[in-house]
Amino acid sequence: MIHWFPLRTLRLPDETDIEFRRRADQAGQYARILVEACLSNECVQEYAADSELPLFTIGDLQNHPIVRIEYEQAIAIGGIGETLRATKSKHWGEGPSILPLQQEDWFYPERITYIYRPNSLYNQRFEQRKRMKELLGKKHRPLVETAKRSTKKIFLEYLTEQQAKAIQRILDIEPGIFWRMAKGRAFHPLPPREIQLELPFADNYVDENY
């Protein structure tokens, strides 16, 4: 017995032939823009020239170009279908927008590349945890990951008096606030990194008053 399955149609409900052709032409033009931008990308050209990366052939890229999937707080670079699926559940604000790859965009050859904008909560949480670890030093920096992976009750229960004092002394915050910061649920001003300023003279500077 032969089973017939309904074919999917690209036509929208109540769409006229003229409207369908116009939309198809626009989609074709945009597809060509995506392919041309992909093949012009410096990173793509480097990967395509690498014999150890068989997925990056001109033919494959013409059928499945690498693109930018942009959100308000982040950018994902990869194939259209796989990148849209991977970012479907992300909470990155408005988006997605499918845009051409820029010439200087860098990305990983075998996985989706994520670029977080400065305004993203993910980036702010990452930078805060990084700075907390820097300030705490080698001895106490593991506390950040411990707090991140623990409930507040468990973290405070197993926190030693010495560790609590270190948190208070170095970061000037209570252990409960420390836990919230490690979890990314609160932001607190931390001492800025020290910046080495350049001296106002070059190596061949000659003091005219010498």
Structural domain including 47 reads: 17-116
Average pLDDT, the chain: 87
SS3 116: strand
| Confidence at residue 11, expressed as pLDDT on a 0 to 100 scale | 73
75 against 120, higher pLDDT: 75
Give whole-number Cα distances, 55 to 49, 66, 105, 143, 186, in Å: 11, 12, 18, 42, 43
| Confidence at residue 8, expressed as pLDDT on a 0 to 100 scale | 56
One domain, residues 107 and 22: yes
190 within some domain: no
> Percent of the chain scored above 70 by pLDDT?
87
Last residue of a domain, one of 73, 92, 116: 116
One domain, residues 89 and 150: no
Q: Is 67 exposed, middle or buried (0-12, 13-18, 19+ CB in 10 A)?
A: buried
120 against 8, higher pLDDT: 120
pLDDT tens string 112-149 = 999 998 888 888 998 999 999 999 999 999 999 999 99
One domain, residues 90 and 54: yes
One domain, residues 38 and 73: yes
* Alpha helix segments (H runs only) across the chain: 17-40, 42-48, 58-63, 80-86, 121-140, 142-149, 152-158, 161-171, 175-183
SS3 83: helix
Last residue of a domain, one of 100, 116, 132: 116
One domain, residues 44 and 97: yes
9 within some domain: no
One domain, residues 57 and 90: yes
One domain, residues 30 and 100: yes
The pLDDT of residue 94 is above 70: yes
196 within some domain: no
pLDDT tens string 41-50 = 999 999 989 8
74 within some domain: yes
One domain, residues 109 and 21: yes
| Confidence at residue 7, expressed as pLDDT on a 0 to 100 scale | 47
- Give the tokens for residue 136: 């705490």
One domain, residues 110 and 131: no
| Confidence at residue 206, expressed as pLDDT on a 0 to 100 scale | 45
Last residue of a domain, one of 60, 93, 116: 116
* Alpha helix segments (H runs only) across 141-191: 142-149, 152-158, 161-171, 175-183
Model pTM? 0.64
One domain, residues 89 and 69: yes
4 within some domain: no
One domain, residues 179 and 127: yes
Among the ranges given (80-84, 104-108, 195-199), the one the predictor scored with the smallest mean pLDDT: 195-199
Report residue 52's pLDDT band, with 50, 70 and 90 as the boundaries.
Answer: confident
pLDDT tens string 15-39 = 788 887 888 888 889 899 999 999 9
Give whole-number Cα distances, 6 to 3, 14, 91, in Å: 10, 18, 35
63 within some domain: yes
10 within some domain: no
98 within some domain: yes
25 against 108, higher pLDDT: 108
Measured from the Cβ of residue 145, the count of other Cβ atoms closer than 10 Å reads: 12
Report residue 82's pLDDT band, with 50, 70 and 90 as the boundaries.
Answer: very high
- Give the tokens for residue 72: 């308000």
Count of domains in the chain?
Answer: 2
One domain, residues 67 and 152: no
